[in-house]
Amino acid sequence: MGLPRTIVYVDGFNFYHSAFVRGKHGGFKWLDMPAFCRLALPKNDVVLVRYFTARVLANGGRVRARRRQDQYLGALETLPSLSVHYGNFVERKKYLKLIRPKPGEKRVWVWVPEEKGSDVNLASYLLLDAFTRAYDVAVVLSNDADLREPIRMVREELGHPVGIMWVSGGGKKCVFGRDVDFVRPLRRWHFEQAQLPPTVTSPAGDVFKQPVPWARAAQRSTSTSRPDRAN
C-alpha cells in the first residue's frame, strides 16, 4: 500500500498569528505551503493544500500590508497542488471598554478589523472532500476550537482520520487534544526549508516578488538559525 492521500486545510489568519505574530517564525513568511506540509507530513501523500484567507483592506495604514499579501497570494496561486479560498475582511465600529480609563471616559469607539468566512469555508470543504472521498486522511492547520465539530463529524460520522498541524511556540497550547487522531508540531526547520524562490512567475507571465521586509527578516533569521530537528 502507498502513502495515504492527504489534503491539508490551512486556516490562513489563525496560522499567520500563531506562527508570525505570537510565534518566533516571522523571518519565514515567504512560505511554500505544499513543500511545508510535505516536510511536516513525510508519511503522507499530500495531494492538495487548501488555503483559506481573506484580502486585508487597503486602508487604515494597511496599504503596504495589502501589497505584501498580494505578492504572497499571487505566488501561492502559481503552485499546482494548492488552491486559495477567499473569505472577507471587514472593519466594524464597536464601542469598547478601555483597559486604563481616564476619569469620565470608560469606553471609546474603535474600528475592529475582522476576517469573516474562512472558518466556515474550511469546515465546508473538509466535509465535502470527506463525502466525495477525496482523501484518506485530512490534516487541519489551525488552532481554532470552532473547528472541533466539523472535525468530529469527519472522524465519527464519516470515518476518516483527522490530524492537526500545530505551531510549536505559537503562544497557545493545542486546543484539540484527544479530539483528533494525531498532532504534528511544526518546528523552525520546517519553515526555514520550505521557502519559495525570491521571484515566482505564473504560467501567464505575472511576476511575484518576495517583499523586501520579508527578505531582510529571512536573512536575519537564517544567519542566526540553529538546528532543532531533535526537539
Identify the band that residue 102 occupies on the pLDDT scale cut at 50, 70 and 90.
Answer: confident
Residue 180 has pLDDT above 90, yes or no: yes
Mean pLDDT of the chain: 91
Cα-based angle 59, 65, 71 (whole degrees, multiple of 5): 125
State the average pLDDT over residues 9-31: 94
For domain 5-223, give the fold.
Answer: Rossmann fold (3.40.50)
Phi, psi values for residue 228, rounded to 5°: -135, 25
Quote the cell numbers at residue 196: 519559495
Residue 116 has pLDDT above 90, yes or no: no
- State the pTM of this model: 0.89
Strand pairing report for 162-167 and 182-186: parallel
Q: In the chain, where are the structural domains located?
A: 5-223
State the average pLDDT over residues 117-129: 95
